[in-house]
Amino acid sequence: MTSPMDDPTTLAAPPVPARRPEILTRADGTALVDEWYWLRDRDDPDVLTYLEAENQWTDHVLAPLRPLQDVIYEEIRTRIQESDASVPVLVPRREDLTEADGPYVYYQRVVAGQQYPIRARRRVPDGVRDVGDLSASLRRAVDPQLPPADEQILLDENAEAADSAYFRLGAFAVSPDQRLVAEAVDTTGGEIYRIRIRDLATGRLLDDVIERAATSVAWHDDGSALLYTVPDDAWRPHQVRRHVLGTDAADDQLLLAEDDERFWLGLGRTRSGRYIAIGASSKVTSHWWLIEADDPSSDPVTVVDRRTGVEVDLDHRGDKLYLVTNADGAVDFKLCTVPVDEPGAEPHELVAHRPGIRLEGADVFADHLVLSERTQARTQLRICAIETGIGEVLPTADEVSTTGMGPNPIFVTSTLRYVYTSMVHPTEIVDHDLQTGERLVVKQQHVPGGHDPADYVTWRQWAEAPDGTQVPISLVKRADDAVAAERPAPCLLYGYGSYEISVDPTFSVSRLSLLDRGVVFAIAHVRGGGEMGRSWYEQGRLASKPHTFTDFIACARHLIDSGVTSADRLAMRGGSAGGLLIGAVLNLRGDLFAGAVAEVPFVDVVTTMSDASIPLTVIEYDEWGNPSDSGVCQVMRSYSPYDNVAPGRRPAMLVTAGLNDPRVQYWEPAKWVAKLRDTSTGGGPVLLKTELGAGHGGRSGRYDAWKDEAEVLAFVVNAIGAGDSAGIDAQPPS
């Protein structure tokens, strides 16, 4: 039986772009001839013509899969509760405000047929100070189609997005007096935001407009002024400014300017409400300032100075600052306190460094402390006494699962809101009473049509890397599909492996369309991520980066050798830095895969990291290294996908890009695909799809996103021969 993409009428590649070789000098002084360098010039009309031609070619090749794509899209759509609402979040009224200023619960709801959320709030009984004071009905989501009569719509994103092909709300910061909101809006996908101020009582936009900002916004207590960050030309938030309402944004006060190109700025209010905290962070170093939230004329005061290699996260309670830090050799981090008025004093160790238990965060409340921890590729929450740091781990149902903090803005509270999910268990949001231990599930993700977790099984396996390291793999499949009972199963292996970002096992509605076709879904928790602690990250960055790729190959080999799947039934998928993973593995062991999806892939590593004018390059030196060092450049050249393309057969490949993407420039995947296709000796096809009106995250509307996901899944299903499992004939007549 043939695949639609094996039809010889569809395999003739589109014309290769006319070559205009460019001789480049890398940062280490070595030369490179780049035949597709001209694709970097977005002002060249031939570039857009080429990208449009590639889109047309992709549409042509995938046309036989449209029926399958449409079926999968309908499966996704009908399994998602199209009209839905988030759990209300209580924001209590401050003592000095009038009754008209709250308290309120804030939430979002979406309505069937609409692309974007509606943001709203409801008044709650006066005197409510804690989540536990709310009735169960007020703690649970409203009926999104029949909203309560007392609902106040604050922002209908659908109306705001009506005239824009792309719309993204980067910040929605309500002032402490709950009378105003600062909205940061992006209408291109370029992640440069425009801040505007809305009066929540009338819905009217004020005259105040900040034309260029990032997404960090924080109000002073009285609502008379707000702080925000400003990106430079390299898309790095490098300034903090204060805007006083009613004044021209051109006159906004510059509070901080970060000149070191390795650092970026962010800000937010502490949960206690006393301070606005400003952080400057590189990949490995932190610097913190505090500003008095009740004084709109106050200046930043340094409380944590930068020490190279020392990272700090900060919170506040009473007369103390709480610091999660890796100082003094605490590889997996520890928790210390220092006096807020004497931040340079000797820290008091509240929670000592525990090798093998990565302390990822500490949420500080008036009367308790919650630690977010990770160990052996598992997440957990530990509820501790605030004075001693001693506590117990919150129990969960499944070992291969994910538990994390929910929204908990209230400082004085006896209720903890957390989130639990696994690859078989839809997400649930739980209010945990810290005094009685009682649990109230305030929202359980609903899967229309029914979903029984018992129909699926999730488990963990371990692959052995070439250096003997054991690499965890999280897997899920239908319980009634015995792995390798008659033949190896079709399988999709997902990976990322950079920035200490962990790909945790969570529930996915769209993934059900794979599982119900007999596909095994697996996550390779490779080095470079954070699944196994800080050392796991360190073993997959800088000179150790190749471990990321050999780990992924080891996971693929393990799945094949153990009979879970076979090379002709295995596909791989990754995006951004995970797209780098896909590209590097393709060069090393592309023969292990029948299909590959690389979304907005970072594949031209050496050239990009040699060009400091490209957004994020200098910031990224701590992750990838500076190629001006010949040794660093040699390591980069050893794995950079674009630099290592060689003639050979390709698995079926779908590659995506975003024309307005500031994180991975569109030309990286475009150049890579041109080179792959030009050197291909068979297999394939190799397809490129560029979103011409979006950025790194693809199209912004939820229905558009579902359609894009259905296209990817149809491609994967076809590549690994899983379509027949659901009785869907995605193949042409014999």
Mean pLDDT of 25-33: 79
- How much of the chain is in helix, strand and coil states, percent to nearest 5? 25, 35, 45
Determine phi and psi for 726, rounding to 5 degrees: -100, 10
From start to end of 26-167, where are the E strands? Answer: 31-34, 84-85, 89-91, 104-110, 118-123, 152-156
End-to-end alpha-carbon separation of the chain, Å? 7
Least confident of 3-17, 161-175, 555-569, 589-603: 3-17
Q: What percent of the chain has pLDDT over 90?
A: 84
pLDDT bin (cut points 50, 70, 90) of residue 327 is very high
pLDDT bin (cut points 50, 70, 90) of residue 610 is very high
Of the candidates 86, 422, 576, 700, the residue annotated as catalytic is 576
Q: How far apart are CA 388 and CA 255, in angstroms?
A: 37
The answer to whether 696 is a known catalytic residue is yes
* 3 state DSSP class of 368: strand
Mean pLDDT of 393-414: 92
pLDDT bin (cut points 50, 70, 90) of residue 724 is very low
Q: Name the pTM for this structure.
A: 0.94
Q: Alpha helix (H) ranges present in 546-693? A: 546-561, 577-589, 605-609, 621-624, 630-639, 667-679
Predicted confidence (pLDDT) at residue 730 exceeds the cutoff of 70: no
Give the residue among 476, 491, 474, 571 at the shortest CA–CA distance from 529.
Answer: 474
Predicted confidence (pLDDT) at residue 95 exceeds the cutoff of 90: no
Q: How far apart are CA 385 and CA 610, in angstroms?
A: 49
Of the candidates 661, 680, 700, 708, the residue annotated as catalytic is 661
* pLDDT, tens only, 218-242: 999 999 999 999 999 888 999 999 9
* pLDDT, tens only, 144-191: 989 999 999 999 999 999 999 999 999 999 999 999 999 999 999 999
400: left (phi over 0), alpha (psi -120 to 50) or beta: beta
Asked if residues 664 and 696 have their Cβ atoms less than 8 Å apart, the reply is yes
pLDDT bin (cut points 50, 70, 90) of residue 723 is low
Please report the pLDDT score of residue 101 as a whole number.
Answer: 64
Q: How far apart are CA 601 and CA 670, in angstroms?
A: 10
Q: How far apart are CA 190 and CA 214, in angstroms?
A: 11
Asked if residues 195 and 183 have their Cβ atoms less than 8 Å apart, the reply is yes
Of the candidates 332, 696, 700, 708, the residue annotated as catalytic is 696
The answer to whether 341 is a known catalytic residue is no
